[in-house]
Amino acid sequence: MIVLVSPGQGAQKPGFLSPWLELPGVAERLAELSDAAGTDLVEHGTRSDAETIRDTAIAQPLLVAAGIVAGEALADGRSDVADVMAGHSVGEVTTTALAGVLSPVDAMRLVAVRATAMAKAAAAEPTSMAAVVGGDRAEVLAAIARHGLAPANINSAGQVVAAGAADAIAALREDAPAKARVIPLQVAGAFHTSYMDPARRTLEEFAPGLDVADPTVPLVSNAGGRVVTSGKEYLDLLVAQVSSPVDWAACMATFADRGVTGMIELAPAGTLTGLAKREMAGIELVSVNTPADLEAARALLGTTADGQEN
């Protein structure tokens, strides 16, 4: 059983879309997705610097577009490219397009609204995030709560991302849990916490206007690793997730429970396969960062380059 996963914000790198533009039809596809998102994805994916693409309003559409392009290249016209799919944070929007819950154009419209609303909410007051690596999980969560922070991302057994007021993040750094490191993240604000409630409300108003279908494969939600087969339910959970924790550790537990034997991470890949390498010993992992990686991904899926079964 193979899971196809899409990374979240922070995975983007300058120039990472350049190799994909060498594939036939990708430039035209990105132009279409750029129009839907209201931003020049080719410019930001090939020439913009790291500081520019760190901007939430740019980073999120860029990541979703990259995942759509890589996923479509991998699928090569098939609708059942994997047995199950999941995305981390904004990667869940990528998954809506690849699993047929939304059209790619509507997925880009959604992520444009999401990104703009989250950037606006983040600018309302000084907030931040920090990864807490190592330590005892209960002690880490207790320390986060003690400083009035929230566990915005539960990424693995050894990594929890704390989020909240910037001064509280600074205090947590000075009061790190035993055997843990607190690493500040270069983000615009406290995503996946109550600070994002205004963004969630904006999405709640926008989402009902989208044409939603049930997914072609089961989806694993960031909301506790729940398996979802209803497109409407998945979209509702995705909207709520803007101001709720991302529990990727629970997603990986669900993958294990369902007997996942391999994971393919779409561009810009490496973050989620890295977590799986530490948490899901024994499964096969493929990171698809360039078209050259598609052969290894297809080999894992057991298909040839023309989409036929081996």
User: What does the alpha-carbon distance between residue 20 and residue 22 come to, in Å, rounded to a whole number?
Assistant: 5
Q: Which of 48, 89, 221, 243 is catalytic?
A: 89
User: What does the alpha-carbon distance between residue 187 and residue 151 come to, in Å, rounded to a whole number?
Assistant: 15
Q: Which of 192, 221, 243, 244 is catalytic?
A: 192
Q: Residue 128 catalytic? A: no
Find out whether 41 and 91 touch, Cβ atoms under 8 Å: no
- Which amino acid, 249? A
Q: Residue 221 catalytic? A: no
Pick the closest to residue 137 from 175, 165, 178 (CA basis): 178
Length of the chain: 310
Q: Which residues share a beta bridge with 269?
A: none
User: What does the alpha-carbon distance between residue 239 and residue 221 come to, in Å, rounded to a whole number?
Assistant: 11
Supply 169's token pair.
């993040």
How is residue 302 annotated by DSSP? T
Supply 94's token pair.
């990528």
Residues assigned a catalytic role: 89, 192
